[in-house]
Amino acid sequence: AQFLKETYDVSFDGGEARHHLWKKVLPQNGKRRGDAKVQEWLQAEHQAAEERAEKRWRQKFEEWQMEWQAEQANFQPDSELGKERSASSPEIRSEMQESTLEDLRSRAEAAEKECEELRSECKGQLDELARLYEEFRRAHKKVQEEKARRETIEKHLSSAVEEQDKWTAKLDHRISQLHQARQQRRAIGAGVARFSNRIHTLDLRAAEWLAQAASDKSREIPDLVEELTAARAAASEAERQVADAEAASKEALGFLESLEVSNIDLVDGTSFASAYKAAWEPWALEALEEDTGQSSPGGEMSAEMEESAKLGSESQPQSPFEESPESPDSASYPSGKVGELEVCFADEDVSAPVDPGSPEDAKLEGSYTMDDALEEDPSEQEPE
């Protein structure tokens, strides 16, 4: 065996190079489901080829050894023996060739059968490989569609966040306007209180002045008339300021009863996710507007409310979603902003010295009643 191995086991450069190339290229390809079966088949083929080569060379070596032994046994130095050996050698060779041909035929038939089996098995593996490739292609297409859908959703979400920031800035601007209106109203209320006290004092002192003028002949009547004229002018100015203060109060009350503030109150428990979902459903916005319109007293906005809403819309830049049916409503804002409206009125108190016997006491009490109405929580006034 050692002699056979040393004699006939020669290296095949081409096969080794092919084997190294196969080892280099195969790991670079992606693994598939049929790769393990293909590798097992290749290993079995290599092993079968090695076994066939070993059997063939072993058989050839045995034939050569038998011929050599026969030649050595029948070797005779005489010419007759040489002639006899030459006559018998073709018969021996023909018998050996027939046995070799039979063996080769049987081996060829077995090889053909094995080749057919391998072809059928390889055909099934190719079909399986084609099916796997088609599944992989469909999965890749689905992944690309999901990526595109995700990008679209992210764009819509970023647009909704930007729109929410714009509405938040608009609400902050409205709150600052309410603060300014409240401060102006406080200043006007203080001025009205001072003028009311002055008018009341002048009314109380008018009788004394008349009595003093009647008793004191040296006092001139035109001076008293001028003082009364100035007092009446101050009273008319105070009444005008009171009317302006009442108009400002009505305007602030109309803004608090507007659709924007009422929608903010309606979404006290609404999360941003549900508001974002409702922003893309126009029918939900229409239903919300109808419910808000039915819950308002009288069914329609007053002239002051419409004017306040118009002024508020003109004070801010128009949003890109305001004219589209998919415009997000102010209901998508957190209800914490509504609390600021309550705080801006809860901490204020117009304290001015007013004489309880003043004739302007009723007007001041009416303005304070309007302040109390503004300070009430809008969320507690639920529509019936």
Q: What is the pLDDT of residues 268-320, one digit of tens each?
A: 445 445 555 555 554 444 544 555 554 444 444 344 444 444 444 444 434 33
- Domain presence at residue 210: yes
- Domain presence at residue 31: no
pLDDT of residue 232: 78
Phi, psi torsion values for 220, nearest 5 degrees: -90, 135
- Domain presence at residue 146: no
Question: Two tokens at 320?
Answer: 């890109």
- Domain presence at residue 56: no
The mean per-residue pLDDT over the stretch 340-352 comes to 44
Phi, psi torsion values for 29, nearest 5 degrees: -80, 155
* Contact (Cβ atoms closer than 8 angstroms) between residue 165 and residue 194: no
- pLDDT interval class at 144 (50, 70, 90): very high
- Higher pLDDT pick, 68 / 289: 68
Amino acid at 343: V
- Domain presence at residue 262: yes
pLDDT of residue 145: 92
- Domain presence at residue 29: no
pLDDT of residue 260: 63
- pLDDT interval class at 226 (50, 70, 90): confident
* Contact (Cβ atoms closer than 8 angstroms) between residue 29 and residue 123: no
Which of 4-8, 30-34, 70-74, 137-141 comes out lowest in average pLDDT? 4-8
Q: What whole-number distance in Å separates Cα of residue 368 and Cα of residue 185?
A: 11
Which of 167-176, 185-194, 362-371 comes out lowest in average pLDDT? 362-371
* Contact (Cβ atoms closer than 8 angstroms) between residue 4 and residue 61: yes
The mean per-residue pLDDT over the stretch 137-153 comes to 92
Whole-prediction pTM:
0.28
- Domain presence at residue 295: yes
Q: What whole-number distance in Å separates Cα of residue 267 and Cα of residue 329?
A: 11
User: Looking at the predicted structure, is the pLDDT value of residue 143 above 90?
Assistant: yes
Give the domain extent around 347: 168-380
Q: What is the pLDDT of residues 102-121, one digit of tens each?
A: 888 888 888 888 888 887 77
The mean per-residue pLDDT over the stretch 320-335 comes to 40
Phi, psi torsion values for 332, nearest 5 degrees: -85, 10
- Higher pLDDT pick, 33 / 315: 33
pLDDT of residue 318: 41
Distances (CA, A) of 56 to 42, 43, 51, 63: 21, 20, 9, 11
Q: What whole-number distance in Å separates Cα of residue 47 and Cα of residue 35?
A: 18
pLDDT of residue 148: 92
The mean per-residue pLDDT over the stretch 365-382 comes to 51
The mean per-residue pLDDT over the stretch 131-141 comes to 89
- Domain presence at residue 358: yes
- Higher pLDDT pick, 209 / 79: 209
Q: What is the pLDDT of residues 71-104, one digit of tens each?
A: 877 765 555 545 555 545 556 666 667 777 788 8
Domain count, the chain: 1
